[in-house]
Amino acid sequence: MKINIAIDGPSAAGKSSVADRLAEKLCYVHLDTGSMYRAVAYLAQKHGFSLDDEEKIVAFLKETPMEVDPDGTIHVDGEALKEQLYGNEISLAASSVSALQGVREAMVEKQQEISAKKGYILDGRDIGTVVLKDAEVKIYLTASAEARAKRRTDQNLAKGLPGDYEKILQEIIRRDYQDTHRQHSPLRQAEDAVLVDSSDLTLDEVVEKILDLIKEKTEVL
């Protein structure tokens, strides 16, 4: 029997990489909900909407269908979005538009519709608390800001992108603050989520730990 798995946590905690690995091992689909907020930020910038203009952004989303492929490509507004969604500027813009209640409502509805069939791993900030309150397995994946900044710096350098550790650390701290202090669905650990701190764990170790939790859960289901 397939279940749904919720993974929440701060930015750069490794949620996406962990969710990708789990999806591969379990033959599940990974839905990266952050990429949907990134797509909204991209569209707002493309059409010149101010990032706090909830009315305009929500009206636009209402008349613009959005489809997410199992490989993560987002089809919207005549474009296929993937790599375009991962720059520093778009990360901060996504954090801003994700604070808008109307944007959240539209994205949550879409995420619930996609995952209704089960067999999904959703990663984000409000999955265990709002989107999939009834997910069979909930993980809160975190790591110290320093460990996350170090990982992001290494990843960027490996991709040939700018890798200034101090700057990346400050951005992570700023996004943590925005994501945990916003009025609507701030990032927090669901009461029934299992806390996994990946500061001193490798990706493989985190994946093994979560697979054990899934096995425990599915054996009793």
Q: Which of 28, 57, 74, 98 binds ligand DC (CB under 6 A)?
A: 98
The verdict on 9 binding ligand DC (CB under 6 A) reads no
Give the nearer residue to ligand DC in terms of CB position, either 151 or 179: 179
The verdict on 126 binding ligand DC (CB under 6 A) reads yes
Beta-carbon neighbour count of residue 54 at 10 Å?
Answer: 16
In angstroms, what is the minimal distance from the CB of 182 to ligand DC?
8
C-alpha dist (Å) from residue 66 to 19, 63, 117, 168, 201: 22, 10, 18, 31, 36
What is d(CA 46, CA 211) in angstroms, rounded to the nearest whole number? 40
Site for ligand DC in 50-89 (CB under 6 A): none
Question: Which residue in the block uniquely carries the two structure tokens 């952004």?
Answer: 57
Query: What burial letters (b/e) apply to 82-94, b meaning 16+ CB within 10 Å?
Result: eeebeeeebbebb
The verdict on 95 binding ligand DC (CB under 6 A) reads yes
Mind giving me the DSSP string for 66-88? EEE-TTS-EEETTEEESGGG-SH
Q: Which of 31, 44, 147, 179 binds ligand DC (CB under 6 A)?
A: 179
The verdict on 151 binding ligand DC (CB under 6 A) reads no
Give the nearer residue to ligand DC in terms of CB position, either 122 or 207: 122
Give the nearer residue to ligand DC in terms of CB position, either 88 or 212: 88
The verdict on 28 binding ligand DC (CB under 6 A) reads no
- The tokens for 107 are 């994205």
Q: Which of 6, 34, 120, 193 binds ligand DC (CB under 6 A)?
A: 34
With CA atoms as reference, report the closest residue to 88 among 9, 151, 158, 175.
Answer: 175
The verdict on 152 binding ligand DC (CB under 6 A) reads no
Alpha carbon 30 to its chain's center: 10
The verdict on 138 binding ligand DC (CB under 6 A) reads no
The partner residues of 6 in beta bridges, in order of sequence, read 122, 138
The verdict on 11 binding ligand DC (CB under 6 A) reads yes
Total chain residues near ligand DC (CB under 6 A): 16
Residues of the shown chain interacting with ligand DC in the complex, contacts defined by CB under 6 A: 11, 33-35, 37-38, 91, 94-95, 98, 124-127, 175, 179
